[in-house]
Structure 1
């Protein structure tokens, strides 16, 4: 059974992980705190993460594949190595036209 977080003071390689789920989305927590969290996210082709309204800033970095990110009325195509910050209080959708992995960081402080 996997722990909810990666082990501290141990080297790990996110790019090497293969946690894709057919026709689904898999999230693995890297670090979780009251002020935010960091996750590895694996999204299969044709799947998406839809959020009506982001309450906090959300940083994503594509580490494998390609993602389409919709922020309010703007669409962005991101490839491996590219990142974007989804601003707090914006509508967003992240979809996979092909399988991709990303690091997702949500910062919950500063909005009290």
Structure 2
């Protein structure tokens, strides 16, 4: 049997923000699931690191697990903090920057 979820223990309670660590001047990612229609990835970004503006064919939901992110969707800029979530619609340019270091769970769903 092939598991769809990987890089995380099964049948065990885990704290997602403990599964990725901060690294100085780096963006760290850990893939949790990847199928043709869905991707789930944990990220940690050090202060002043980012992911440049891009377009995706699927809707992308960001859940901030720790810290604070500045997320741009189209012409709008949002400050999203620990415990908050924002959805970046498909085919709209979006990007993010760590004004403070932060960790997020990114879920992308495609048709």
State which of 7, 10, 13 in structure 2 corresponds to 1:11.
Answer: 13
Q: Residue 15 of structure 1 aligns to a residue in which SS? A: helix
User: Which residue is 2:45 aligned to?
Assistant: 43
Q: How many residues align?
A: 106
Per the alignment, do residues 105 and 79 of structure 1 end up closer, same or farther by CA in structure 2, a change over 3 Å counting? same
Poorly superposed stretches of 4+, deviation over 3 Å: none
CA shift, 1:8, in A, is 2.8
**Distance in 1 (alpha carbons) for counterparts of 2:39 and 2:19:** 19
SS across alignment from 2:78: strand
Instruction: State the shift of 1:25 in Å.
Output: 0.2
Contact conserved, 1:5 with 1:32, CA < 8 A, in 2?
Answer: no
- 1:93 alignment partner in structure 2: 95
Structure 1 residue 66 corresponds to structure 2 residue 68: yes
Q: CA RMSD in A?
A: 1.4
* Whole-Å separation in 2 of the counterparts to 1:52 and 1:32: 19
Secondary structure of 2:69's partner?
Answer: strand
Q: Which digits, 9 at most, give the CA deviation of each residue in 1:7-40, with x for residues without a partner?
A: 3333221133451121010001122222111111
Normalising by the residue count of structure 1, what TM-score does the alignment of the two structures yield?
0.86
Aligned mates of 1:107, 1:17 — CA distance in 2 = 22
Q: Distance in 2 between matches of 1:6 and 1:58?
A: 21
Between 53-62 and 13-22, report the one with greater CA deviation: 13-22
